[in-house]
Structure 1
Amino acid sequence: MPDPADMHDLESFAQVVAGELPGRWTSAYHRHAEYADQFPLAEEVWDMDLVSGAVAEYVLGHDAVLTRDDGARLYLTGRPGHAEEYLVGAMAPPGFEPDAFRGVREPDGIAVPDNPFLAAHEIASDLLPRYDQAVAQVRYNAAYPQPPASAPAPEPERVVMTWFGDGMLAAKPDSPEAATALHKAGFVYDPREQAFVLSGDDTALQARAVRAAGAQLAAHGIGVILRHPPSRPALETTAVPPPQPAKPSTRTR
């Protein structure tokens, strides 16, 4: 049931506001007997902030819709918990496909004081310009629809083979096909590196293995990138900490 503590005189307030807004506006007042009655109109509110939050969270016993002669509509209701404030939100223009609203920012509603003359001024100077701009963008989108964006082509898979200072070559595949190709070419998986490695003890053998791996990877549409990393120790060695700068000697005066 509507909150009996809601003392907003919404009907009179909406009528005065309609007479004070620029242009020709009419007011239609609605009282709701049940919670569900507020949604047929409230669901058309073009708002993602104050007004939509109040609609979703509170039982609103009544609302009013102001309609301009060009079809623009405003939704009014009392602000729950604020006896001296009202909520005003724009209502989405009817007759447009959902794609027309894509990319258009909602003209979020505002809270206005219970003085209808001040409220009309705030609506006219804040909400209505944003509402009219948003509607103009919706109409433009409807008149000039954008073609559906095509999905970007997936990046081709590549295996990065990295040479290290000790002559070892390491490769990290991203797919089972790439891992199988590396294994068949002679690469051995090293769990410490989490990569397939190829020893540099025999450079001729290593070169043949790289060529074989490249051919098998290419057959699967997988490219190969060869690169040298920044200086790093071999797998078997322990990293040597960098030298610490010498401390300046203490001098006495």
Structure 2
Amino acid sequence: MPDPADMHDLESFAPVLAGELPGRWTSAYHRHAEYADQFPLAEEVWDMNLVSGAVAAYVLGHDAVLTRDDGARLYITGRPGHPEEYLVGAMAPSGFEPDAFRGVREPDGIAVPDDPFRAAHEIASDLLPRYDQAVAQVRYNAAYPQPPASAPVPEPERVVMTWFGDGMLAAKPDSSQAATVLHEAGFVYDPREQAFVLSGDDTALQARAVRAAGAQLAAHGIGVILRHPPSRPALETTAVPPPQPAKPSTRTR
């Protein structure tokens, strides 16, 4: 049942307010016989502040919905504990998927005085612009949905082959598939080097093995990088000053 202490004359206030708002609005008043009756409409309130807080915390004996000719709706109820104020909140537009509301800030409702003329001015200058902007964003999101986030592209696998001064070639694979290809091409795993090595005793055989391994690795989408080991820095030497020419000796008498 309505709270007998609620002195808000919402049934008279709502239609007068509808006539003062810009545009064409109609008013529908609802009296709640039970506490649960306040939720079917209140659940559509697009608010995370005053209005939703009042719905969650208080028994609201009645409400009103103002509907504009383009479908916009405003929810109105008396503000608990404030007999000279009403709460006005925007109602979410219907017919849109939840994804359309993602990233759209709720046009939180406001408290207005019980003077419908002043209330209409505050609604028109504050709540309605934010409401219309939020609805426009929802419609845009629905018309141009964001594509699903794609998974990051993994880095392509590569096998690094390093030539050494003695002609040996060492390869370090990152997967068992690459290791199998190297083994089948003639590379032998060396635990000390922690790499698959290929002797340089027969350069022709070595070249064929490298080409075969490269072709098979490429077929599996695995790249090959050939590197030479960094050259050793030259030994540090101390500069020797050039010899000074000998001074001619002079005799003294």
After TM superposition, the score normalised by the length of structure 2 is 0.62
Distance 1:141 1:234, change over 3 A: farther
Measured in 2, the distance between the counterparts of 1:15 and 1:251 equals: 134
Measured in 2, the distance between the counterparts of 1:252 and 1:45 equals: 121
Does the 8 Å contact 2:164/2:228 carry over to 1? yes
Does the 8 Å contact 1:164/1:232 carry over to 2? no
Does the 8 Å contact 1:165/1:232 carry over to 2? no
Task: Tell me the CA shift for residue 27 of structure 1.
Answer: 0.2
Distance 1:185 1:139, change over 3 A: same
Task: Tell me the CA shift for residue 148 of structure 1.
Answer: 1.3
Name the stretch that deviates more: 179-188 or 218-227: 179-188
Q: Residue 56 of structure 2 aligns to a residue in which SS?
A: helix
Q: Residue 7 of structure 1 aligns to a residue in which SS?
A: coil
Task: Tell me the CA shift for residue 150 of structure 1.
Answer: 2.8
Deviation digits for residues 15-46 of structure 1 (CA, Å, limit 9, x no counterpart): 11000000000000000011100111000000
What is the percentage of aligned positions where both structures have the same residue?
A: 94
Distance 1:220 1:24, change over 3 A: same
Name the stretch that deviates more: 152-161 or 123-132: 152-161
**Structure whose CA Rg is larger:** 2
Does the 8 Å contact 1:160/1:224 carry over to 2? yes
Give the paired residue count.
253
Deviation digits for residues 94-150 of structure 1 (CA, Å, limit 9, x no counterpart): 000000000000000000001110000000000000000000000000000011123
Does the 8 Å contact 2:2/2:31 carry over to 1? no
Distance 1:79 1:212, change over 3 A: farther
Distance 1:15 1:220, change over 3 A: same
Unaligned runs of 5+ in 1: none
Q: Residue 201 of structure 1 aligns to a residue in which SS?
A: coil
Does the 8 Å contact 1:107/1:130 carry over to 2? yes
Distance 1:148 1:33, change over 3 A: same
Task: Tell me the CA shift for residue 11 of structure 1.
Answer: 1.0
After TM superposition, the score normalised by the length of structure 1 is 0.62
Does the 8 Å contact 1:156/1:223 carry over to 2? yes
Task: Tell me the CA shift for residue 2 of structure 1.
Answer: 2.9
Distance 1:118 1:177, change over 3 A: farther
Distance 1:203 1:141, change over 3 A: same
Unaligned runs of 5+ in 2: none
Matched, 1:241 2:241: yes
Which 4+ runs in 1 deviate beyond 4 A? 151-253
Name the stretch that deviates more: 98-107 or 236-245: 236-245
Does the 8 Å contact 2:45/2:52 carry over to 1? yes
Does the 8 Å contact 1:44/1:91 carry over to 2? yes
Q: Residue 40 of structure 2 aligns to a residue in which SS?
A: helix
Task: Tell me the CA shift for residue 187 of structure 1.
Answer: 27
Q: Residue 147 of structure 1 aligns to a residue in which SS?
A: coil
Distance 1:153 1:3, change over 3 A: farther
Q: Residue 170 of structure 1 aligns to a residue in which SS?
A: strand
Distance 1:186 1:59, change over 3 A: farther
